[in-house]
Chain A
Amino acid sequence: MRSAEMSSPLAKPQIIAHIQKSLNYTVFDSKWIPCSAKFVCLGNFARGTGVMQIYEVQHGEAQLIKEVEKPKPIKCGTFGATSLQQRHIATGDFDGNLNIWNLEMPELPVYTAKAHKEIINSIDGVGGLGIGDGAPEIVTGSRDGTVKVWDPRQKDSPVANMEPIEGETKRDCWTVAFGHAFNDQDRCVCAGYDNGDIKLFDLRNMSVRWETNIKNGVCCVEFDRKDINMNKLVTTSLEGKFHVFDMRTQHPTKGFASVSEKAHKSTIWQVRHLPQNRDIFMTAGGAGNLHLWKYEYPAQRCKKDSNGVDVGVAGSISLLQNATLSSQPIASLDWSPDKQGLCVCSSFDQSVRVLIVTKLNVV
């Protein structure tokens, strides 16, 4: 076994810890600034204020370039709805505020809205960076149970609001993600809730297109790509399982075919697809470990069921590599959109790490 392991590194991707930086605050999210070697860390100071830091990767070190303190802890951020020229980050904070910041002048937000009554758990953007045709839009999911879609060109009110009708119990929305933005009309939002609900909203028809329950709280959902006809969706759950749904064929009753895998012994906090290859993704676990996966398509992605209705066929998943980084949960993970294999992750041991995953191109 050992000898086999010694010979395989050549073929197998390796997860290399390149830079580790300890921080003096709890970091919730870390994001690469597109088209740069810089990343942003978002979090909260022990004194209860929010913080936003910009680091640049230089000479094997992460150098702090800028730090701004904000009144409220910042939970999440995205560059998904900004242009490459502007590269504004949209953030959600503990107080339910959606802010958009110009990182050159981060003192005042360029856009602000009181989006939710409670903490914004998750944020995603589409229509910017050349990813996704159509309008730039931001989606926020909050503990108040609502999911709202925002257009940065429209102040104060969301362009779409997905909330339980009166009388329904409000579930804590833990995660949101855009997808299906392959032309300028179609667009979907997927949201995951603390009770294991997953809902797929069709923004073109303004309807719930599909829903399911994976029995455990949904920690993270992500489409393999936002700007294609929805292809795959990965959802991770509280007890360490994740599901990969093939989103191409929706059976009227069975919905989407899926395959699941339990790899982590603890919560899977994050899943992120490699921007350069949609079939490779990394999950980040509550035990401080990372798993790199590859999805393989079945020979036929679609078959007929007994009634002659098309039903999807899920593929298989193989583990490419894993690595344990920390004893604390890894709360955020982001691949560099520009450099294949470069990623940044932050964990609750108050540190942010820059990792290099090698040989992704030969997988």
Chain B
Amino acid sequence: MSVATTERVVGLNAPPRAARKSAVGANAEQRRLWTPGTNDSNRRVEVFYARPHMSADASFSPHDYTTVDYNGKVPVEHLDYGYIEKCKDVKYLEKILKVLRSGKEGIYPQLINFCESHLEKLNPRSRALRKENSVVTAASLSKDEWSQVADELKIWQEETKQRDKSLQLHPISDDVVNKNMPPIRGSNCFVALSQNSNLKEKRESLKCVLPRDYREWDKFDVEEECEKIDGGQMVQSSAIINTGHSEIKTQLDVSLLMQEEKRLLANREKDKGNEAFKAKDYEEAVAYYSRSLSIIPSVAAFNNRAQAEINLKHWHNAMRDCQSVLQLEPGNVKALLRRATVHKHMGDSQLAAADLRMVLMEEPLNAAATQLLSEIEKKLIKCQPEEQRRGKKILIQEMEVEDSNSNHGTEQKVCPVEPSQPVGGEDGSAAPAEKGDMGNAQKKPHGRGDGGPHSESNSHHGHWKGKGGSSDKYKASQEAKDKEANGTSKRGSTASVQADQSGGSKGTLLGGSAGETVNLDAPCGALPPPLARLKNEGNLLFKNGQFADALEKYSHAIQGYTESGIDSPEDLCILYSNRAACYLKDGNSQDCIQDCTKALELQPFSLKPLLRRAMAYETLERYRKAYVDYKTVLQIDTSVQAAHDSVNRITRLLIEQDGPEWRENLPEIPLVPLSAQQHHIKEPPSAEVLQARAEKAARDAERKAEVLFTALKQEGNDFVKKGQHQDALGKYTECLKIKPEECVIYTNRALCYLKLERFTEAKQDCDAALKLEPTNKKAFYRRALANKGLKDYLACSSDLQEVLQQDPNVQEAEKELEEVTVLLRQSLADASSAKPRRTVPIIEIDGDEQSSCTGEDISINLHPTNSQEFGQALNAACSGKNTAACADLLASTDPQLLPQYLSTYLNGHTISFIMQALDSHLLEKDPNLVYQHLSYLHSTDRFSVVLMMLPKEEHHHMTQLFERLSAAESTEYTKNDVQNLANKYI
């Protein structure tokens, strides 16, 4: 038993866990441990051999394990706290645990637990640790935990019920389903079960075998044959790798599916993508995300695909996906982070930094963003001194500076500098494709391409930093970058050179030298001084590369502008354009585009905003739009080299993307009016340009209206055919709102009115139609019917006569005429009035289109804009003896224009009629107007002749008029004036 005693000592000296137990307990347990062991002499021996090791050396050497016999039984003394504690052999521990659990050596729950926990420390995934758990029930969960689970389930049940119902509501016929399905497989193909009997395959039934399947059989045989020919070698070297991403269709036809199904499917495909992603099959993941997106585009799928593309190093695709996300959900942190990664890898540290800062604004604690940003910053800083050693950068100032100050001719001109194009130079600025801060126009760098990423953050940084006094890290890099743009040397060949008066021929960065005095209060266009100052400050900041600060200034200026209510679109345009430049520099392409668009709304076809927008679009890989903008730029000024380059590059890209029909997918390229072309250098966009733009807008609107119009008209016609005149009426009325000049619609609507027995309106419509098309037969005929309905038989018969004169074959007209003539006679007989006789227009029907309107007395255009309209209106009023209408007409006519309007219509009738109108309606209301009319009326051509022809009684009327006029009191004329005037008439 001495053994046992020693053992106990070891046990007591064992580490805390063992020692924690009461010594008594441990002793008792160990004693029990030993009792069965004593029976086995073999084991005893073993024990004795093992003992000295343990007591002599507490820490096991690897040598000890070799003595462990895995196959044999576990010696009983190993079932001990101390031994287990020190044992590092997982397999052996598992064995010990098994023995302990089996209970053959007695049951020691604490020792089992101890052994388990020790084993878990060594290998948490050991199979021996697996325990059978009984199933958990709601009762064994905490209340919170269960209620969460239960609530989730409840919500799901309710949702699912709805979905279930909606699915049941849309039973789809089998035919529709089948239409979209692949054909049935070749019928009853037989496959032998053993692999080597492949070749004995036979088709049992030929029924329903489709050609496709024959081909498949053929194909199979060919492959088989090939393999046979190639022999064993072939077999050796042909592991089959199942990674056929290319065979996965990335587009799904879901046209027949319901929304619910699409949603499920899109989710499912996305899940598949996620799984493939987890298994690092990025290409497959991309394929499945694409499938998901082809069903329903979602932010998550775009985002995930972006990440997969990043992992595949497909930067452009990744960028496109990030942009898609940001379009759907601006400010999406994941997308920003991913875009930053893409930017970083494409060498756009600036843009990457900008994105990361945006992320950090949203989520200040985002560790990934912080880390990436610090990496980028380090890189940028590293790059700078290196570049300082390098040669000068030669840059081409592509465009003139658009600032309206540019013609000040002073050296201090401060203005944003266009993204410029590096040409050669040691450092080359040759970041690989898509250098965002270069406005992205330099995808094909002219430099040698050895610049590597970040080469654009350039040399003279220290200089600027000192000057600007802003030592912010980000700014430092921006400043540095700006320098590149600023250190402009002109390229003689560019047409636009003239405008760049800064820096100029010095070729280095003299233009922006610190010592330069900048007149911040230099006037800027029509801007009030405070705004001008803001703008100049912005310009200076921009020049210094403090884009964010410049941006702020411009924003203030824009705000100030809108508040001040100045009307100077040119200045606002420049402000927007400048701010766009800041955005572009900051890599904020979206806002850049917005500002450019605003600028272009103000000043269509201005070069800079167009170019900036093009660059921004290109950055966003919206190549089509970029292409259109570049093309527009080239229309304005063909000498913009950057635009040429970009157009070429984008063309290639688009051909790659869309194939030979790429042009078909392009949006329309606006036609630049001549006035806007080439003149951009000298003058700000003129009113003509504005007009051109307005015209274009009008054209567009017209086109849209045309479509709508046709649709409405068709609907109207359909209603007429169905006899639903009231509905048709509505459609036609809408038509006329779009196009008030459409004769057919008037006649059609007139028909509806006729059917609805609304004769007055019908007549008005006919009148309108005739105004537009004075020989419209239908209009005449329908007006005749309307007149008949209004019991104006005379007008009716004259209209009918007109119809018959134009086309004697209209039998309906003839019939109507007969009928109406009878009616007319009756009415004449009834009424003693001879009035109609005078206005029977037959005498006037002599092919003169104007005269055909004489029958009108209701629809009078009271606002004539030319002589013809006036004449028509006057005739209408005259023939209807409608002095009131005539008075209204005169009231709305400028007296000065009266002679001009009246000249061709002047005759005795009209004069006396006008006199009557003036006398009976206007004189009381507005004697001044009457006076004025009269004072101009007599200056009409042929007035005196016509006056002479007037019958006596008319002269009498006139005299009365003048008497009354002089009686009416007015400040504008005296009695003498009236007398003088009267003398001219009488």
Residue from B156, B167, B193, B265 in contact with A37 in the complex, judged by beta carbons closer than 8 Å: B156
Taking the nearest CB of chain B, how far is it from the CB of A59, in angstroms?
A: 8
Residue from B188, B200, B284 in contact with A229 in the complex, judged by beta carbons closer than 8 Å: B284
8 Å CB interface, B119-143 against A:
120, 125, 127, 130, 132-138, 141
- Say whether, besides A84-B261, A136-B181, A229-B248, A325 and B135 are in contact (CB < 8 Å): yes
A149 partner residues in chain B, CB cutoff 8 A: 185
Taking the nearest CB of chain B, how far is it from the CB of A69, in angstroms?
A: 24
Task: Check B149–A205 contact: CB distance below 8 A.
Answer: no
Complex Cα distance, B245 from A186, in Å, reads: 13
Task: Check A228–B160 contact: CB distance below 8 A.
Answer: no
B272 partner residues in chain A, CB cutoff 8 A: 225, 227-228
Complex Cα distance, B271 from A285, in Å, reads: 28
At the interface with chain A, which of B44-52, B202-210, B335-343, B660-668? B202-210
Q: Is A249 an interface position by the 8 A CB rule?
A: yes
Task: Check B268–A130 contact: CB distance below 8 A.
Answer: yes
A190 partner residues in chain B, CB cutoff 8 A: none
Q: Is B198 an interface position by the 8 A CB rule?
A: yes
B657 partner residues in chain A, CB cutoff 8 A: none
- Say whether, besides A168-B194, A250-B239, A35 and B167 are in contact (CB < 8 Å): yes
Q: Is B40 an interface position by the 8 A CB rule?
A: no
Residue from A136, A199, A276 in contact with B271 in the complex, judged by beta carbons closer than 8 Å: A276
Select from chain B the residue with minimum beta-carbon distance to A206. Answer: B189
Task: Check A130–B192 contact: CB distance below 8 A.
Answer: no
B249 partner residues in chain A, CB cutoff 8 A: 133, 183-184
A15 partner residues in chain B, CB cutoff 8 A: 135-136
Q: Is B812 an interface position by the 8 A CB rule?
A: no
Complex Cα distance, B135 from A325, in Å, reads: 6
- Say whether, besides A205-B216, A319-B130, A135 and B137 are in contact (CB < 8 Å): no
Mark each residue of chain A from 80 to 97: 1 if its CB lies under 8 Å from any CB of chain B, else 0. Answer: 000111110000000000
Q: Is A158 an interface position by the 8 A CB rule?
A: yes
Complex Cα distance, B276 from A130, in Å, reads: 18
Residue from A35, A229, A308, A323 in contact with B237 in the complex, judged by beta carbons closer than 8 Å: A308
Q: Is A14 an interface position by the 8 A CB rule?
A: yes
A151 partner residues in chain B, CB cutoff 8 A: 184-185
Task: Check A130–B261 contact: CB distance below 8 A.
Answer: yes
Select from chain A the residue with minimum beta-carbon distance to B254. Answer: A130
- Say whether, besides A16-B137, A204-B216, A83 and B185 are in contact (CB < 8 Å): no
8 Å CB interface, B859-886 against A:
none
Complex Cα distance, B201 from A201, in Å, reads: 13
Mark each residue of chain B from 160 to 175: 1 if its CB lies under 8 Å from any CB of chain A, else 0. Answer: 1101100110111000
Complex Cα distance, B146 from A14, in Å, reads: 11
Select from chain B the residue with minimum beta-carbon distance to A277. Answer: B275
B132 partner residues in chain A, CB cutoff 8 A: 289, 322, 324
Interface size counted on chain A using CB atoms at 8 A: 98
Complex Cα distance, B161 from A362, in Å, reads: 27
Residue from B136, B168, B177, B205 in contact with A157 in the complex, judged by beta carbons closer than 8 Å: B205
Taking the nearest CB of chain A, how far is it from the CB of B47, in angstroms?
A: 28
A7 partner residues in chain B, CB cutoff 8 A: none
A227 partner residues in chain B, CB cutoff 8 A: 272
8 Å CB interface, A103-143 against B:
104, 130-131, 133-137
Q: Is A22 an interface position by the 8 A CB rule?
A: no
- Say whether, besides A163-B193, A324-B132, A206 and B160 are in contact (CB < 8 Å): no
Residue from A35, A163, A203, A289 in contact with B260 in the complex, judged by beta carbons closer than 8 Å: A35
Q: Is A46 an interface position by the 8 A CB rule?
A: no
Q: Is B186 an interface position by the 8 A CB rule?
A: yes
Task: Check B135–A323 contact: CB distance below 8 A.
Answer: yes
A185 partner residues in chain B, CB cutoff 8 A: 216
Complex Cα distance, B156 from A38, in Å, reads: 12
Mark each residue of chain A from 18 to 60: 1 if its CB lies under 8 Å from any CB of chain B, else 0. Answer: 1000000000000000011110000000000000000001101
Q: Is B247 an interface position by the 8 A CB rule?
A: yes
B200 partner residues in chain A, CB cutoff 8 A: 165
Q: Is B379 an interface position by the 8 A CB rule?
A: no
Complex Cα distance, B383 from A292, in Å, reads: 53
Residue from A250, A263, A323 in contact with B130 in the complex, judged by beta carbons closer than 8 Å: A263
Q: Is B24 an interface position by the 8 A CB rule?
A: no
- Say whether, besides A151-B185, A250-B240, A4 and B120 are in contact (CB < 8 Å): yes
Complex Cα distance, B271 from A159, in Å, reads: 31
A205 partner residues in chain B, CB cutoff 8 A: 216, 220, 223
A206 partner residues in chain B, CB cutoff 8 A: 189, 191, 201, 216-217, 220
- Say whether, besides A130-B265, A249-B240, A157 and B207 are in contact (CB < 8 Å): yes
Task: Check A157–B188 contact: CB distance below 8 A.
Answer: yes
Mark each residue of chain A from 154 to 176: 1 if its CB lies under 8 Å from any CB of chain B, else 0. Answer: 10011111111100100000000
Q: Is A230 an interface position by the 8 A CB rule?
A: yes
Taking the nearest CB of chain A, how far is it from the CB of B168, in angstroms?
A: 8
Complex Cα distance, B281 from A301, in Å, reads: 10
Select from chain A the residue with minimum beta-carbon distance to B134. Answer: A324
- Say whether, besides A14-B136, A163-B190, A339-B153, A208 and B184 are in contact (CB < 8 Å): no
Task: Check A159–B187 contact: CB distance below 8 A.
Answer: yes
A252 partner residues in chain B, CB cutoff 8 A: 235-239
Taking the nearest CB of chain B, how far is it from the CB of A139, in angstroms?
A: 12
Select from chain B the residue with minimum beta-carbon distance to A170. Answer: B193
Taking the nearest CB of chain A, how far is it from the CB of B692, in angstroms?
A: 52
8 Å CB interface, A315-362 against B:
318-319, 321-325, 338-339, 342, 355-356, 358
Q: Is A64 an interface position by the 8 A CB rule?
A: no
Task: Check B192–A338 contact: CB distance below 8 A.
Answer: no
16 A–B contacts, CB within 8 A, in A order: A16-B149, A17-B135, A60-B150, A85-B172, A153-B178, A157-B188, A162-B192, A186-B247, A206-B191, A207-B195, A208-B194, A228-B276, A250-B241, A309-B238, A323-B134, A338-B160
Interface set of A (CB-CB < 8 Å, partner B): 1-2, 4, 14-18, 35-38, 57-58, 60, 83-87, 104, 130-131, 133-137, 149, 151, 153-154, 157-165, 168, 180, 182-186, 199, 201, 203-208, 210-211, 225, 227-231, 247-252, 263, 276-279, 289-290, 297, 301-302, 307-311, 318-319, 321-325, 338-339, 342, 355-356, 358
The 5 closest A-B pairs by CB, nearest first: A310-B239, A159-B185, A323-B135, A250-B240, A36-B164
